[in-house]
Amino acid sequence: MNNPRESRPRICDYEGSNYRTEFWEGKGRDYEDRVERIALRRLLPRHGRRLLEIGAGFGRLTSEYDNYEQVVLLDYSLSQLRYAQQYLGTSDRYLYVAADAYSLPFRAGSFDGATIIRVIHHISDTSTVLRQVRRVLVPGGTFILEFANKRHLKAMLRYSLGRQNWNPYDLKPVEFVELNYDFHPEYIAQMLAAAQFETQCRVPVSFFRLASLKNRLPTSLLATLDGWMQRTGLLVTPSIFTQNTAVGSSPDNLTAPSIFVCPDCGSELVHDDHIVRCQTCQHRWAVRDGIYDFKAPLDE
């Protein structure tokens, strides 16, 4: 049997990394964390049934989704999900799933909310991922997507001075480091529309992401100012949040007894102790200490 994972694009894997301590905690990014939370609170609906957090990592932002009855944390890294599990605990409110975003192991229409924050810049095939997100959302579901903006002020200034060889005005994504992409706002708008999303709002975030400012001014002041500036809609910041609604017809399985399907063939799964098995392709997947592991079947 052909392995569908062999044809998938490259995946940025944080397995075994200390992303939480090396990038966030005590690393001078309190400002970025605060302004992203401000944007999220502005864009999230007041209530929802089930939210899919793609690229949840160690659960940095998961506490912002308390308005949803259940949150499914999905990440490609088992170690990051273990960090999140230690922080958030084990309960029916949280499900932990190790899988890639190119082939989500969920039944169509299992969610009424989804987020991708600080993740799409690691995705080389945005079209496939956005279509997957749309597939698992019910019509009218809310999708919040954050992306790294290639048309930000610093990039435009550097390009005008000849200090940057890539054009910030070109719609094509730029891969400035392997598996690290910046996107033009209109390119993202086109990709979202093609995937059957209707964009309701775009919020510029991180107006003051400069070390010279962060080192001299209080974080609370910068975050407050950023919150005000977010309302301007000036899409010249390094980060942009978008609020999108799933449009078109699709199933509604919010009340289905199980949200999982085989990521390889899309068939039903049967639970057997610490293993889930596909009834069609017979692939078996492990459940490791409460984390559903769909990175590779046990048969391989």
pLDDT digits (tens, 9 = 90+) for 49-65: 999 999 999 999 999 99
Name every residue whose Cβ is closer than 8 Å to that of residue 13 and which is 6 or more positions away in sequence: 76, 77
pLDDT at 270 over 80: yes
| Structure confidence at residue 4 (pLDDT) | 59
Report the distance separating Cα 254 and Cα 197, nearest Å: 19
Q: For residue 299, tell me if it sits in a domain.
A: no
CA atoms within 13 A on the CB side of 281: 19
CATH of residue 17: 3.40.50.150
- Higher per-residue confidence, 151 vs 2: 151
Amino acid (one-letter) located at 3? N
Q: Is the pLDDT of residue 1 over 50?
A: no
Tokens representing residue 269 in the block: 């799964």
Q: Write the pLDDT tens digit of every residue in 105-127.
A: 999 999 999 999 999 999 999 99
Banded pLDDT at 231 (limits 50, 70, 90): very high
Residue 146 counted as domain residue: yes
- Taking the C-alpha atoms of residue 206 and residue 62, their distance in angstroms, rounded to an integer, is 20
Q: Provide the pLDDT confidence category of residue 6 given band limits of 50, 70 and 90.
A: low
pTM (two decimals): 0.95
Average pLDDT over residues 17-37: 89
pLDDT value at position 235? 98
Q: What is the DSSP letter of 260?
A: B
Please check whether residue 152 lies inside any domain of the structure. yes
As a whole-number percent, the residues of the chain with pLDDT over 70 amount to 98
Distance in angstroms (rounded) separating the CA atoms of residues 277 and 280? 9
Number of domain units in the chain: 1
Whether 273 is covered by a domain: the verdict is yes
300 assigned to some structural domain? no
Query: What pLDDT is attached to residue 3?
Result: 58
**What does the alpha-carbon distance between residue 287 and residue 300 come to, in Å, rounded to a whole number?**
16
The mean pLDDT value for 39-54 works out to 97
Contact in structure between 294 and 276 (CB atoms under 8 Å): no
Mean per-residue pLDDT, 220-238 = 98
Q: Is 145 a domain residue?
A: yes
CA 191-195-201 angle, 5° bins:
65
The answer to whether the CB of 223 falls within 8 A of the CB of 34 is yes
Q: 5 pLDDT band (50/70/90 cuts)?
A: low
Where does residue 57 rank: exposed (0-12), middle (13-18), buried (19+ CB within 10 A)?
buried
Average pLDDT, the chain: 94
Average pLDDT over residues 78-101: 94
Question: Which range marks the domain in which residue 181 is found?
Answer: 4-293
Adjacency order of strands within the sheet including 48-54? 197-205, 239-246, 137-148, 111-116, 48-54, 68-75, 94-98, 291-293, 284-288, 275-278, 269-272
Residue 88 lies in a domain: yes
Residue 298 covered by a domain: no
